[in-house]
Copies of this chain bind each other. A is one copy, B any other.
Amino acid sequence: MLGEIIAIGNELTSGRIVNTTSGFAAHHLFKAGFDIYAMHTIGDTPSLIGEALIRALGRVDFVLVTGGLGPTDDDLTAEAVSEALNRPTMPNLELLYQIREHLNSYAEPPVNSLEKLAWLPQGAEMLNPESNMAGFQLIHDNKPIFFLPGIPHQMQTLLVDQVLPRLSTWYKDRQLASVQRVYKIFGKSETAINQEVEDLTLGNRVEIGYYPVFPDVHLSLTVRGRNTDSVQKIFAATCGRVEEKLGLSIYGRDQETLESVVGALLLQNKKQLSVAESCTGGLISHLLTSVAGSSSYYLGGITSYANSMKTAFLGVNDTLLQKYGAVSPEVAEAMAAGMRQRSGADISLSVTGIAGPDGGSKEKPVGTVFLAMAADREVRVHRFLFSGTRYEIQRLTAQTALDLLRRYLLR
């Protein structure tokens, strides 16, 4: 089962925006048992759009087209497809009425081109008429073609919720059984993981992939074949061996994030957390609160960027700051202890360091970070030296803090 992906947009061919949607689609299609023959990125040029589509239809089983579905003048996909496949555009009446109703809700209806969204090539079927997302399907020469918006989150939602199930139904008998799992690992290099895993002699039916996805490494295991039972059996055995070998280094799998795993552990252990951040500037708090329901275990945090904030809000002693400096194990300890006492949390994390690009010294170069955790009856301080850009140092610090907490909760 082969497909091609065509991404449309001058913003892509001019390099203003990096095309991430094609890779996302390829990844999910591959996991679902479909192979991608080629991916193309072309500008908003009707003749090129038509040419790429027609060539793809001549050699693969399905085509995914993204971009160019919006209401503005440079959105030309529907017209191009109409022309290339000889299917005149016609109004989708339901959609047209919906748009008119929306326009009528304005006191002064905007003079705009929204109605254009309802004009689709003959035979087009909206992918999700309930939503307000553009996106339609055409069956041409008995092959499905999917047209999705270029906006990443819309494209991703429609791909997963609409395209994958429709494609699987259409090509039910020709699809290979396929299982894949991604293990997420923090704190080990790609090469180190490779060495540990290759010894497992996994057999040649298992595809292993290692890819660094900053700040983690993802390890993917894929098994594909005609026989669902044997695919499942090989997959389960392989996963078991990999999990045994890598143990605690694996923090999660597939859609899990370190913050969602830590959240679940806090909930399980009935512990409440608070955080005092300096060099990470709120990033740890932001990661924790990106998880729905985090208010049940996360009390909150402080970004004590200025020394005056450390004193006023955390009770860090001024003489401590003078004597050891804000970036010191002593101040990290006082921040975590002060945070725990004042917030009433069971566990408090604190972070102080130099994210750069300026502010480093010989004794404490850029990337120096002190991490403290106050839990039970003690405060433990750890020293790290990270390297990278400002963002990378902040992100590595946040991930290290969350991973320390995860390992503590798993003791």
Chain A residues with a Cβ under 8 A of chain B? 9-20, 22-30, 35-43, 48, 52, 70-74, 110-114, 151, 153, 180, 182, 190-192, 194-195, 198, 207-214, 218, 220, 222, 274-275, 277, 280-286, 288-290, 292-295, 298-306, 308-309, 312-313, 342-344, 356-358, 389-392, 394
A-B contact pairs, 27 of them (CB 8 A): A12-B23, A12-B39, A14-B27, A14-B36, A15-B23, A15-B25, A15-B36, A16-B30, A18-B18, A18-B20, A18-B23, A22-B41, A38-B43, A39-B40, A71-B190, A71-B191, A72-B194, A74-B209, A112-B194, A282-B282, A282-B301, A285-B285, A285-B286, A289-B394, A298-B305, A298-B306, A299-B305
Closest CB-CB distance, A343 to chain B, in whole Å? Answer: 6
Q: How far is the CA of A358 from the CA of B292 in the complex (A)?
A: 8
Within 8 Å by CB of A38, from B40, B222, B292, lies B40
A283 CB contacts on chain B under 8 angstroms? 282, 286, 289
* Copies of this protein, total: 2
Q: How far is the CA of A17 from the CA of B217 in the complex (A)?
A: 12
A300 CB contacts on chain B under 8 angstroms? 302-306, 309, 313
A36 CB contacts on chain B under 8 angstroms? 13-15, 43
**Is A342 touching B195 in the complex (CB atoms < 8 A)?**
no
**With A112-B191, A342-B312: A38-B42 Cβ-Cβ less than 8 Å:** yes
**Is B11 touching A73 in the complex (CB atoms < 8 A)?**
no
Closest CB-CB distance, A321 to chain B, in whole Å? Answer: 14
**Is A16 touching B281 in the complex (CB atoms < 8 A)?**
no
Nearest B residue (CB) for A275: B303
**Is A209 touching B11 in the complex (CB atoms < 8 A)?**
yes
Q: How far is the CA of A313 from the CA of B309 in the complex (A)?
A: 11
**Is B111 touching A343 in the complex (CB atoms < 8 A)?**
no
Closest CB-CB distance, A156 to chain B, in whole Å? Answer: 11
Q: How far is the CA of A312 from the CA of B312 in the complex (A)?
A: 12
Residue among A19, A305, A308 with the most chain B CB within 10 A?
Answer: A305
Closest CB-CB distance, A119 to chain B, in whole Å? Answer: 16
Within 8 Å by CB of A13, from B38, B191, B292, lies B38
A74 CB contacts on chain B under 8 angstroms? 208-210
Other A-B contacts than A10-B207, A37-B43, A281-B286, 20 sampled, CB-CB below 8 A, are: A11-B220, A14-B36, A14-B209, A17-B211, A18-B23, A38-B42, A38-B43, A39-B40, A39-B42, A73-B194, A74-B209, A74-B210, A112-B195, A153-B214, A282-B282, A282-B289, A298-B306, A301-B303, A301-B305, A308-B344
**Is B391 touching A16 in the complex (CB atoms < 8 A)?**
no
**With A73-B198, A191-B72, A342-B313: A213-B17 Cβ-Cβ less than 8 Å:** yes
A42 CB contacts on chain B under 8 angstroms? 37-39
Closest CB-CB distance, A176 to chain B, in whole Å? Answer: 13
Closest CB-CB distance, A279 to chain B, in whole Å? Answer: 8
A306 CB contacts on chain B under 8 angstroms? 295, 298-300
Nearest B residue (CB) for A310: B300
Within 8 Å by CB of A39, from B41, B71, B289, lies B41
